[in-house]
Amino acid sequence: MKILVFRNSNFGDYFISIPVLRLLRKKFKNCTITYLTIKNREKFSLPLKIGDERIVDDFFLIDKKDYRYFKNLKKIIEKIKKKKFDKLIYLQEYSSIFSLIKHYIFFYFTGIPEIIGFKFYFYKRNYFKESETIQIARRIFQNLKKKTISSSQFLNSYNEKKIIRHKYFTIGPGGFALGRLPDKIKTYKPIRWKNENWIKLCQKLISRYKNIKIVITGTKKERLLSKKIKKKFRNNIIDKCGKTSVDEWINIIKYSELHICQDNGSMHLATLFQKKNIALFNNHDFYGKWFPLNKNSYVIRLDGDINTIELSHIFRGIKKLIKK
């Protein structure tokens, strides 16, 4: 059984697809899973494996510029045809009816015998009750219980050796989005929790938890902030922004005592391990849509944008998650 799964993905989208990917392996023994996504970055870095567990068998990458032109799409269709897939699993996030029709026509012409995921696309999309993680799983496997989806996301077999010896918290200051909401609550430029807030947060964490190191995770985009924090609190900070492989990043989050981050890929990674997590949300998207399926997560989303979140909100969450 050869299965092609499509979702245009960075880390967060890929991680929330893992319950479906694992359930597919459970249902179709000895299947091979190819994950189709658009290459949004110069360096593609989604992991085939997490620890010893193989999540997918292969990636099929579409270059972003090729995705926009009909002539190039025809070539991609021919490449997919040659792979002779038995099933297509459509996990793409809703953006517009135009995109939905475009995708359906595209996959129809690939000649894949069974296409799954379009039929229940508009079925009861209520993010107040069900996050995107739950909804895409139920789009493929109807009537799944939330508990089953959650347990399918939990990677409890990770046994890689801890690479940072200290006891530590992690922070993930990267990530932002615009969303697709009505004008009354939509933001029109990327919003991050301000750098000065992250600096103040580190200062208070160091003051309160004297035997804990703080590991800053992220990409080179967060290097300016991480350098400022490292310079200010040199002995308490381990700066890993732009310095780790994907496997090392996964390992660091896995063994963190507490992960504090914006709504980004590291939040969904923490969810895979059910780590204690403080998740800071902007007001840019449907309430509940990206909330982590993690019983150890404390979500902070206010009516205002992300910069209405104060340190007191975060430490209220820490108090609930960590006994001190």
Q: Fold identical between 2-153 and 168-321?
A: yes
Q: What residues does each domain of the chain span?
A: 2-153, 168-321
- d(Cα 114, Cα 126) in Å, to the nearest integer? 27
- d(Cα 187, Cα 35) in Å, to the nearest integer? 32
Contact 247, 47 (CB under 8 A): yes
Question: Full-prediction pTM beyond 0.75?
Answer: yes
> In the β-sheet with 87-90, what is the strand arrangement from edge to edge?
58-63, 32-39, 2-6, 87-90, 114-116
**pLDDT score, position 12:** 94
Place of tokens 């026509």: 105
Residue among 242, 51, 238, 260 at smallest CA distance from 162: 51
Span 68-74, mean pLDDT?
80
Of the listed ranges 45-59, 174-188, 305-319, the one predicted with least confidence: 174-188
Angle of the 146-153 helix axis to the 18-27 helix axis, nearest 10: 100
Mean pLDDT is highest, among 40-49, 160-169, 284-293, for 160-169
Distances (CA, A) of 280 to 25, 63, 97: 33, 32, 30
- d(Cα 322, Cα 324) in Å, to the nearest integer? 6
pLDDT digits (tens, 9 = 90+) for 104-150: 999 999 999 999 999 877 666 789 999 999 999 999 998 899 999 99
Report the sign of the C-alpha dihedral through residues 221, 321, 197, 303, in that order.
positive
**Tokens found for residue 190:** 């990327």
Residue among 152, 14, 296, 4 at smallest CA distance from 144: 152
**Domain at 168-321, CATH from 1.10.10.10, 3.40.50.2000, 3.30.70.860, 3.10.20.740:** 3.40.50.2000
Residue 215: phi and psi, rounded to 5, are: -100, 120
From the number of C-beta atoms within 10 Å of its C-beta (0-12, 13-18, 19+), residue 130 rates as buried
Contact 20, 89 (CB under 8 A): yes
Residue 162: phi and psi, rounded to 5, are: -65, 130
| CATH number assigned to the domain covering 2-153 | 3.40.50.2000
